[in-house]
Structure formats: C-alpha cells, structure tokens
Structure 1
Amino acid sequence: MTKFLISFPASAMDVPAEDMPAVSDASHAVIREAKAAGVYVFGGGINSEVAPVVVAADGSRTTGTYPQTREFDGGFCVLELPSRADAVQWAARLAAACRCAQELREFYYDPDS
C-alpha cells in the first residue's frame, strides 16, 4: 500500500464564514469514513499562528521557511491506499467536502521509515 498526501492551501478555501461549520462537518465526515475504512494515517491543519522554523544540523534556528519555498499552510491528510486511482477518489471526496480542489502527492516508499 502507498501513502498519499492530500492537501490544500488555506487561500484555496474561499468559503463564506457562515458556511464554515458545514464545510467542517463535511470534511470531518470524510475523515471518519477514511478511518472506518482503515486507510487514514494522520492529518490536520497547519497552525498559521505559529511561525515555521528552519533548524540546521548544528541546532541553530531561523524563523521562516526555505527561501525558495512558498508559504505552506492549510489542511492535509495522509491516507494509505492500494492505488493512485483510489487516492484520486478520496481527494475528490475531500474536494467536495472542503469546497476547494485538493493537491495529491505520493510518498516515496522507504522500507526503513
């Protein structure tokens, strides 16, 4: 089975504030279905109130991200699925629930991780 990252940037969610409870309920319902199906690994939303930190090998820290990286925010989940086709179906369900397109990425398989 392959692990897939399904995510979206916060700016993609152009949802009126009064619709957010319905979006939250719908997205949580999909996650509950993924858990019930045994494909959920983990997920959540990036806390935009806490600044990212780049930590070097010597332990020194720099607030911010890599210079070449765009801002990383929004929500994500990792699902372990038998195929990319299955991942596309789950991403479509999350896109419908969140009312925004989802980015789908496949994790490289590493037997030691």
Structure 2
Amino acid sequence: MPKYLISFEKGAMDHIAEEDWPEVGKAAHAVCQEAKDAGVFVFAGGLSYDDGDVEHAVVATDGMVTDGPYPESKELIGGFMIVDVPTREEALKWAAKNAAACRCAQDIRKFMYDPEMD
C-alpha cells in the first residue's frame, strides 16, 4: 500500500493556549492509537528545535558537517504522522483527524514507491 506523510509546519500550533496543551496531546495520541488499531500507523512524532541541541546541521556529499541556525526562509516540519493506506482519500481522512486533534492544517504527501524497499 502507499505510504503518506501527514505533516504540519513548525509554528502551526503556536496559537494553542498553554492550558490547552494536555488536551491537544491527548487528542493527538488518540488519533495515533486509532491508526495503530486500524493497522495503518507507521510512525509519528514532533520535531524538536528549541531543546538546546544544535538547531541545524547539513551533511554535504563529502561528509562535511555544517552546524548553524535554520534559515528564516526555510519551511520546517513541526510534526508528522506516516500512514500506510490504500488510497489518497483514506490518507485525507487521517489528515482530517490529525487536523482536528492538533488544531492546525495538515499537509499530505505520498511517498514514491520503491519496490526494493518493501
């Protein structure tokens, strides 16, 4: 089955009040559990940008590592979920559940199929 990346940009949840975060977290975990129960869950998580780690690293083709802050113009992923579903319509249903739980719009992208990775 095709796999889909369901994601939202860093900062998309900034409008959520501090006191609402436990409820949002509970709702997001419930969507993940529902996806697990349905057998379509692959992986999910939020990305850390402000925990004291190096904010950005680029590894060049020669192996050289460059650390530094993220460019202001670069779109960053704030969180994501990967589902393995038969159709785009099914992925859109999971994205709608994520949007409601996380209180922000979700982006859907289909992974390219590579038979050698199955």
Whether TM exceeds 0.5 here: the answer is: yes
Per the TM alignment, residue 24 of structure 1 is displaced from its structure 2 partner at its CA by: 0.3
Amino acid paired to 1:7: S
Task: State the Cα deviation string for residues 34-75 of structure 1 (Å, max 9, x = none).
Answer: 0111111111111113322111122101124897x7141311
Segment of structure 1 superposing worse, 70-79 or 83-92: 70-79
Task: State the Cα deviation string for residues 16-41 of structure 1 (Å, max 9, x = none).
Answer: 11101000000100000001111111
> Structure 1 regions of 5+ residues with no counterpart?
none
Aligned length: 113
> Structure 2 regions of 5+ residues with no counterpart?
none
Q: CA RMSD in A?
A: 1.9
Q: Provide the residue aligned with 1:10 in structure 2.
A: 10
SS of the residue 1:79 aligns to: strand
Amino acid paired to 2:65: R
After superposition, residues 1-113 of structure 1 pair within 5 angstroms as 1-13=1-13, 14-49=15-50, 50=53, 51-64=55-68, 70-113=74-117
Identity of aligned residues (%): 52
Asked whether the equivalents of residues 9 and 76 of structure 2 are also in contact (C-alpha less than 8 Å), the reply is yes
- The TM-score, its normalising length taken from structure 1, stands at 0.91
- Structure 1's consecutive aligned runs of 4 or more residues displaced over 4 angstroms after TM superposition are 64-67
Task: State the Cα deviation string for residues 53-106 of structure 1 (Å, max 9, x = none).
Answer: 111122101124897x71413110110000000000000000000111111111
d(CA) in 1 for partners of 2:49, 2:25: 17
